[in-house]
Each structure stands twice: as structure tokens, then as C-alpha cells.
Amino acid sequence: RIAPQSARGGKAAESGANLTALRGIFTSGLEKIEADAAQKIKIWPDEYLKAVKDLQATMKKAGNLEGLLACNQETDRFRTARTLTADLLVTQPPQLRAIQESFVDAEGKYTLEKNKATVALVERYVARLTSLQTDLTKVDKIEDAKAVNAEIKSVKANPKVTAAEFAMADHDAKIA
């Protein structure tokens, strides 16, 4: 997270080394967002299968043959397809449907979370850089201000950033 500068004029004193430090904080934040999303996307299928298996055991213990067979069928289907979309939701048993609803389009949800976090991080970083650029310009540190400006342009042109911004704009347009 990029911390706000507390001392008045402190931003103007930041230059090359501090720009490098800010860039490092931003890059680390971006890497963490991506790693967290990748981990969630990687493990959700196992979590889903565990939830279905747990329900399967509950159905067996209760002697609910129809529920047990539905869980068996869903386990087999999911192991083959490794996907769960709204059109694949069962109607019965309701316990299985509830599990499915909590996992439906999990990858899309985690990707959306990643994109939201990326856009928020970029907005904070660019705001901090813009403020730094303004302060540096005011104290006539033009070369340092130009370096900050180049960083702003670089961040805005980063393919990961533009992809996240495009995905969020597309998502927002779909729900509008």
C-alpha cells in the first residue's frame, strides 16, 4: 500500500531513490494481487469437490439415495469438465445447488476481484505520483518531475493495467 506523505513539502524532497522505492512498492503490490488471484483460481476446484464430497457423505449417512446419486453425478461431471457455470446448476437436492451457487463462475469472480484490486492500486499510485510531480515542479526539480511523469505514463501503458482497466470497463458496461 502506498502511504500518504505526512510532512508538508516532504514529497518535493523525494526524487530518484524514492521514486524507485515507490515503484518497488507498486510492483510488489501488483505481484501480490496477481499471486493471490492465481492461488484462488488454482484451489477453488479442490474446494468445490471437497464441499460436494462432504455433502455426499452427509447424504449417505442420512440414507438419501437421490441426493447421494446427484452428488456422485456432479463429482464425475466436474472431474471431467473442471468447470461450473450457471447453466450447469442442479435443481435437486437443494443442498447441492447451494454449494454450486457459492462456487459458480469462481474463476470469473476471482479475476474480477484481481482487476478491481489492480485498478485501485494503480489509481492510488498514479495519484501519489501526480502529487509528487506537482511538488517537484513547484520546487524547480524539473528533471525529477519529468522522471515521475515518465513513470505515470509507463504505469498507464502497462499491459496488465490496461487489461484490468478494460475488463472493469467491460464489466461495468454489462451491469449498467
Query: pLDDT digits over 39-52, tens only?
Result: 999 999 999 999 99
Query: What is the pLDDT of the chain when averaged over all its residues?
Result: 89
Residue 88 DSSP code: G
pTM of the model: 0.76
Contacts with 118 (C-beta within 8 Å, 6 or more apart), sequence order: 30, 33, 160, 161, 164
Contacts with 139 (C-beta within 8 Å, 6 or more apart), sequence order: 9, 12
Residue 3 DSSP code: P
pLDDT at 16 over 90: no
Give the helix/strand (H/E) hosting 148.
Answer: helix 142-157
pLDDT at 12 over 80: no
65 vs 58: CA distance, rounded Å: 11
- Per-residue pLDDT band for 14 (boundaries 50, 70, 90) equals very low
88 vs 168: CA distance, rounded Å: 26
User: Could you tell me which of 33, 26, 32, 34 has the C-alpha nearest to residue 128?
Assistant: 26
